[in-house]
């Protein structure tokens, strides 16, 4: 495998590498097998300028910057470990893969192109409670949920799109979970101001765990947007009711957690 430094936004077919906290383990386990890795740290913007965040900004930089809305700062602070947050970029976070243990252990499941979702009949305690009929994976990004609730916009080297539109629910004829095209790079994120926002996270232990359920809520004017992590194959913008959830036999507890956290978040925003 070749490793080179990017000198422009054209990676010439190479696979982008930023902090490597997600990509390197996937290469080690043989899930991703790139011919060429391209270190993009020199060409992807890093830093915070008012409402604009470079995609190369680390989670550690976001969690302590007062310009960043509370929901996003808290989502970053509660993610991963301090060491990982010092290295991991927000762009890489948005593009992380599922934590589904069948997928990570390379079972030939639907997301790997196979015919079966092993989680549906197997171990699915941490899996999705929405859109879980084809692939029951639960999206692991706290940060993505916060950005969706905040109504953030992504700028790539090809287009501008709402963060929510970076994601797609996989289907039989298209197993991709993002809409990112080959050669497309995330460059920056525009986060509109919110009057107030909050991120609440339920996890197996108090630190260094992916969300069982994460709830981001943002209030702007009279409108409150709520988005959830850990409940669907994509960051989940809550447009209907949590009663519409379709939990699997061993994860209905997530509906109870989500209901409690959404209530707590919306109440917190309403009281200030
Ligand atoms: C043990 C562990 C625990 C974690 N816990 C949490 C958690 O609780 N909550 C949470 O939200 N996240 C969590 N994470 C995810 C972590 O935040 C991400 O691994 C990290 O932010 C990825 O950033 P990176 O720069 O290292 O990405 P990389 O590993 O370099 O890249 C990740 C992917 O994104 C692509 N990529 C990177 N940058 C760009 C770009 N600018 N444009 C296009 N493609 C790009 C790469 O090609 C690769 O596919 C955890 C990770 C680990 C390993
Ligand atoms: S939940 Fe998705 S990733 Fe996990 S086994 Fe099923 S198809 Fe594969």
Q: How remote is the CA of residue 21 from the centroid of ligand 1, in Å?
A: 6
142-149 vs 70-77: helix crossing angle, rounded to 10: 180
For the chain, how many residues are written? 272
Of all atoms in ligand 2, which is nearest to the CA of residue 117? 6
Q: Determine which residue's CA is closest to atom 18 belonging to ligand 1.
A: 93
30 backbone φψ class: left, alpha, beta (φ>0; ψ -120 to 50): left
Q: Is 132 in the pocket of ligand 2 (CB under 6 A)?
A: no
Q: Is 119 in the pocket of ligand 2 (CB under 6 A)?
A: yes
For a mutational test of ligand 1's pocket, the pick from 80, 101, 154, i.e. the residue with the most ligand atoms closer than 8 A to its C-beta, is: 80
Which among 152, 124, 126, 141 has a CA at the least distance from the CA of 178? 141
Q: How remote is the CA of residue 252 from the centroid of ligand 2, in Å?
A: 18
Of all atoms in ligand 2, which is nearest to the CA of residue 127? 1
SS3 197: strand
CB-based burial, 29-55: b 16+ in 10 Å, e otherwise: eeeeebeebbebeebbbbebeebbbbb
Q: How remote is the CA of residue 255 from the centroid of ligand 2, in Å?
A: 20
Q: What is the pLDDT along the chain (272 residues), one digit of tens a residue?
A: 999 999 999 999 999 999 999 999 999 999 999 999 999 999 999 999 999 999 999 999 999 999 999 999 999 999 999 999 999 999 999 999 999 999 999 999 999 999 999 999 999 999 999 999 999 999 999 999 999 999 999 999 999 999 999 999 999 999 999 999 999 999 999 999 999 999 999 999 988 899 999 999 999 998 999 999 999 999 999 999 999 999 999 999 999 999 999 999 999 999 75
Give the whole-angstrom CA distance, residue 216 versus residue 190: 17
Which among 130, 133, 169 has a CA at the least distance from the CA of 258? 130
0.75 cut: is pTM over it?
yes
Determine the longest span between alpha carbons in the chain, in angstroms. Answer: 55
Q: Residue 87's CB: how many other CB atoms inside 10 A?
A: 15
Q: Determine which residue's CA is closest to atom 8 belonging to ligand 2.
A: 109
Q: Is 146 in the pocket of ligand 1 (CB under 6 A)?
A: no
Which among 235, 128, 251 has a CA at the least distance from the CA of 226? 235
Q: How remote is the CA of residue 33 from the centroid of ligand 2, in Å?
A: 20
Q: Determine which residue's CA is closest to atom 2 belonging to ligand 2.
A: 135
């Amino acid at each position: 495998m070749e490793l080179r430094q990017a000198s422009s936004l054209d990676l010439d077919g190479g696979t982008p590498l930023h902090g490597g906290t997600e990509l390197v383990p996937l290469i080690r386990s043989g899930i991703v097998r790139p011919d060429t890795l391209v270190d993009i740290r020199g060409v992807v913007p890093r830093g915070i300028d008012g409402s604009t965040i470079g995609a190369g900004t680390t989670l550690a930089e976001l969690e302590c910057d007062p310009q960043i809305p509370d929901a996003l700062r808290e989502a970053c602070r509660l993610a991963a470990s301090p060491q990982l947050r010092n290295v991991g970029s927000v762009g890489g976070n948005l593009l992380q893969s599922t934590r589904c243990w069948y997928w990570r252990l390379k079972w030939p499941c639907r997301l790997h192109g196979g015919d079966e979702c092993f989680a549906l009949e197997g171990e699915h305690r941490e899996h999705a409670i929405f859109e879980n009929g084809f692939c029951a994976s639960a999206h692991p990004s706290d940060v993505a949920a916060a950005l969706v609730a905040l109504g953030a916009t992504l700028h790539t080297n090809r287009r501008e799109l709402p963060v929510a539109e970076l994601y797609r629910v996989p289907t039989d004829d298209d197993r991709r979970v993002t809409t990112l095209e080959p050669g497309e790079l995330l460059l920056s994120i525009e986060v509109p101001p919110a009057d107030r926002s909050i991120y609440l996270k339920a996890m197996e232990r108090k630190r260094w765990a992916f969300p069982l359920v994460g709830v981001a809520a943002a209030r702007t004017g009279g409108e409150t947007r709520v988005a959830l992590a850990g409940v669907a194959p994509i960051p989940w913008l809550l447009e209907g009711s949590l009663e519409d959830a379709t939990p699997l036999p061993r994860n209905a507890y997530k509906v109870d957690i989500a209901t409690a956290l959404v209530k707590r978040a919306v109440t917190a925003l309403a009281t200030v």
